[in-house]
Amino acid sequence: MPGVVLGDLAIPVELFTRVALANGHHPYRVLTCGPTRNIRSTSCSLRVGHGLAALHAADTVVVAGIDDIEPPVPSRVIEALQQCAARGSRIASICSGAFVLAPTGLLDGRRATTHWKIAAELARRYPKIEVDPDVLYVDHGRLLTSAGANAGIDLCLHLIRTDFGAAVAADSARLAVTALERAGGQAQFIRQLPPVAHGALQPLQEWITRNLGSDLGVHTLARRHSTSVRTLHRRFVEQTGMSPAQWIMQQRVHRAQELLETTDMPVERVAQSVGFPAASSFRERFRAVAGTSPAGYRQLYRRQPG
């Protein structure tokens, strides 16, 4: 599509082109196509090999992400994808490619994902889609969606594994110098900031973020906010969409992610500094929010000096 995200395009082209079976056979024939033969991205111009007619022979269609999700998807692109689905083609989207796939109606009534930053917008525009912003990819068999660029790698390796088995997928991952695919239900590795209220709760929330290692029970918070526990709970739900305990839990995990990225502090000390007296309960809560263990998160996202 115009404005294609080059990384999203390169991932399936490179991965599928390089797949080789034990007999040396390359099982995928990879074509690129678009509504026009000359496509502009944000950084360059591309000469696309084929028009939309190439989709007629496609067993699998991968829709790359686009930089701008505002322009409407051309009707001929929508119709071409609908025809692919009617013929039984497998269709997958990477990142914001879900905004190209969504207007076809093929995702209606289904769970789908996209990059976490634009997941809320996808849900707003297409309320019939059950948007899950927390997973790497969603597989419905003939319809698949994935999150950001790295999740596109996971998605493609998942398709290769589905088609030709784990050994071929492992070889493909080694050729790409990447890890074997993570499970689709694994959380997107993001630090989703808890919603911040801009009204009467804001001073209390700012105090909470400065005192995450303290007692933050609802009675303590209600006294500090000079209100009842019931009113405090109601205001949190109204202004953030979650209870005080849920908001504090996300704030604690968010702070823990920062510490894991930027310090050598042992996990036990990280747990204590953000308000968990026991490392075991911290690991359990951290995994529930972030989708991986504290040690696993640190290994993936530790910021290197310079």
Task: Using CA atoms of 138, 142, 143, 149 in order, give the dihedral in degrees to the nearest 10.
Answer: 70
Q: Check whether 181 has a pLDDT greater than 60.
A: no
Band (pLDDT 50/70/90 cuts) for residue 196 is low
If one compares 136 and 91, the residue with the highest pLDDT of the two is: 91
SS (H, E, C) 139-208: ECCCEEEECCHHHHHHHHHHHHHHHHCHHHHHHHHHHCCCCCCCCCCCECCCCCCCCCCCCCCHHHHHHH
Reduce the DSSP state of residue 279 to 3 states and report it. helix
If one compares 32 and 135, the residue with the highest pLDDT of the two is: 32
If one compares 305 and 282, the residue with the highest pLDDT of the two is: 282
Burial of 271 (0-12, 13-18, 19+ CB in 10 A): buried
Pair of tokens at residue 56: 């007629």
Band (pLDDT 50/70/90 cuts) for residue 175 is confident
Q: Can you tell me the mean pLDDT for 169-176?
A: 76
pLDDT per residue over 24-46, tens digit each? 899 999 999 999 999 988 788 99
Band (pLDDT 50/70/90 cuts) for residue 300 is low
Taking CA atoms, 179 is separated from 159, 182, 295, in Å, by 15, 8, 17
The Cα–Cα gap between 133 and 125 comes to: 15
pLDDT per residue over 98-107, tens digit each? 999 999 999 9
Whether the Cβ atoms of residue 90 and residue 144 lie closer than 8 Å to each other: yes
CATH classification for the domain delimited by 6-175, as one of 3.90.1300.10, 1.10.260.30, 3.40.50.880, 3.40.50.620: 3.40.50.880
Whether the Cβ atoms of residue 4 and residue 65 lie closer than 8 Å to each other: yes
User: What pLDDT score was predicted for residue 301?
Assistant: 61
Q: Can you tell me the mean pLDDT for 94-119?
A: 95
User: What pLDDT score was predicted for residue 143?
Assistant: 95
Amino acid residing at 9: L
Whether the Cβ atoms of residue 133 and residue 98 lie closer than 8 Å to each other: no
Whether the Cβ atoms of residue 291 and residue 132 lie closer than 8 Å to each other: no
Band (pLDDT 50/70/90 cuts) for residue 180 is very low
Q: Check whether 80 has a pLDDT greater than 90.
A: yes
The Cα–Cα gap between 175 and 18 comes to: 8
If one compares 228 and 184, the residue with the highest pLDDT of the two is: 228
Pair of tokens at residue 36: 């026009």
pLDDT per residue over 211-254, tens digit each? 999 989 999 999 999 999 999 999 888 887 789 998 899 889 88
DSSP symbol at 35: S
Percentage, residues of the chain above pLDDT 70: 90
The Cα–Cα gap between 70 and 126 comes to: 14
**Which candidate, 288, 216, 210, 203, places its Cα nearest to that of 248?**
216
Q: Where are the domains of the chain?
A: 6-175, 202-301
pLDDT per residue over 140-167, tens digit each? 989 999 987 778 888 998 899 888 887 7
User: What pLDDT score was predicted for residue 154?
Assistant: 86
User: What pLDDT score was predicted for residue 304?
Assistant: 45
pLDDT per residue over 6-16, tens digit each? 999 999 999 99
On average, the pLDDT of the chain sits at 87
If one compares 271 and 301, the residue with the highest pLDDT of the two is: 271
Assign a CATH topology to domain 202-301: Arc Repressor Mutant, subunit A (1.10.10)
Q: What is the pTM of this model?
A: 0.63
User: What pLDDT score was predicted for residue 191?
Assistant: 47
Range 199-202, long-range pairs (CB < 8 A, 24+ positions): 199/239, 200/225, 200/235, 201/225, 201/235, 201/236, 201/239, 201/240
Residue 74, Cβ neighbours under 10 Å: how many? 16
Burial of 81 (0-12, 13-18, 19+ CB in 10 A): buried
